[in-house]
Structure 1
Amino acid sequence: MSGKCFNPAKLEKLNNPERIAELPMSFLCDKAALSDPQVIIDLGAGTGLFSRALVDYFPHCTVYAYDVSKVMVDWMQANVVPHYPRVVPRLMADGQVDAADGFADFLLMVNLHHEIDNPLKTLQESYRLVKTGGSIAISDWRKEEMDKGPSVKIRVDAMEVKHQLQEVGFLDITVYDDFRYNYLVIGYK
């Protein structure tokens, strides 16, 4: 993620509740056809903001919150787990997740795709992790100039994400442009 990775020194930005308002759980879960998932992976979880929202929304699920930053994983362990014991922080490296094939009902990535150096490798790993009948949702910054977010130069267009998901095997992929700053791409295995 060479130089594109989020700076952990700014981790409080990741806890801004406006981020949840901009990508409401009800919309996300409805469009991803989630009813009662047992295992969710939040890839690039940061401070676990979306992991927390998911365990609030689904009272019987466990969310495995993976991040490449030890600072983020340690922060979640200290600040999230005591209040959200069904959030399980995990460190990942080089796009690899230490979990079994077909482990998750749902995999979520929020504002991560633009940071990934090898998106096909990460999406192949995501495909491996999602069980048959499960889904993936990728939300990232629109590829246009705006008053917040990373440089437009490193952003990835939603249609490119859709094509990458198709390339690794996901089906029935839909792009939603209902949000001010982000798009949402959902696919199924």
Structure 2
Amino acid sequence: MSYKFNPKNKKKLDNIDRRRSLPPKETLEKLYLKEGDYIADIGCGIGYFTFPASDIVKSTGKVYAIDISQDMLQDVEEKINNKDIDNIQVIKGEISELKDNSVNYIFISNVLHEIDNKDKFFNDLKRVLQSNGRISIIEWKKIKMDIGPSLEHRVSQEWLKDKLFYIGFKDLEIININDNLYSVTGKL
């Protein structure tokens, strides 16, 4: 069974230390998100990346903020209403809720290690991503450290890159995010 983040700890998801080590807007730009993209933010949590993504894609793009936790999504919905943002759509559920070819960018941060059925998950990713669309997955480095999930729940960057290649992604690139996190990004 995989590790699952407890929504009761959601305050940990946005703090000054995290913003220093994982600045959301700069991270998304480093991972090639651009104006006009239609992005699925899978496992969006409290919207740590959702709102910076909304700023980047602007009114010509759209952000699908997807999470299985209504508690997390409630925070996102409150921020949307308070800021009167119209390019974010909140979806309670999983990636399977999206229609075929509905996005040109898939973003997943620190969620893959929580997925039980990775084969089904990857098939759904391919189904919703448009041809030549980009995927960027941020995960914990598979090294022992005091934060994040336990070592046995983490996925190595080599495994992730190989998996994406095997299912048809190309132009794969491993990007170092910080001392604890990496990203694999590529195109379908």
* 3-state SS of 1:4 partner: coil
Provide structure 2 residue ranges, at least 5 long, that are not aligned to the other structure.
none
- Structure 2 match to 1:62: 62
Deviations 1:31-87 (A, max 9, x none): 43x432331100011111101111122322221111111222233223444323422
Q: What is the TM-score normalised by the length of structure 1?
A: 0.87
Provide structure 1 residue ranges, at least 5 long, that are not aligned to the other structure.
none
Query: What is the rounded CA distance, in whole Å, between the counterparts of 2:2 and 2:51 in structure 1?
Result: 27
Q: Is the 8 A contact 2:39 2:106 kept in 1?
A: yes
Deviations 1:66-125 (A, max 9, x none): 1111222233223444323422211114xx422221111211000001111122211111
Matched residue type, 2:134: S
- Structure 2 match to 1:149: 148
* 3-state SS of 2:172 partner: strand
- Structure 2 match to 1:184: 183
* 3-state SS of 2:137 partner: strand
Matched residue type, 1:113: L
- Structure 2 match to 1:82: 82
Query: What is the rounded CA distance, in whole Å, between the counterparts of 1:39 and 1:117 in structure 2?
Result: 26
Q: Is the 8 A contact 2:2 2:113 kept in 1?
A: no
Q: What is the TM-score normalised by the length of structure 2?
A: 0.88
Identity %: 29
CA shift for structure 1 position 20: 4.4
Query: What is the rounded CA distance, in whole Å, between the counterparts of 1:82 and 1:64 in structure 2?
Result: 18
Aligned length: 185
CA shift for structure 1 position 149: 1.2
Q: What RMSD in Å do the two structures reach over aligned CA positions?
A: 2.0
- Structure 2 match to 1:126: 125
Moved over 6 A (4+): none
* 3-state SS of 1:49 partner: coil
Distance 1:81 1:87, change over 3 A: farther
Q: Is the 8 A contact 2:2 2:116 kept in 1?
A: no
Query: What is the rounded CA distance, in whole Å, between the counterparts of 1:37 and 1:97 in structure 2?
Result: 23
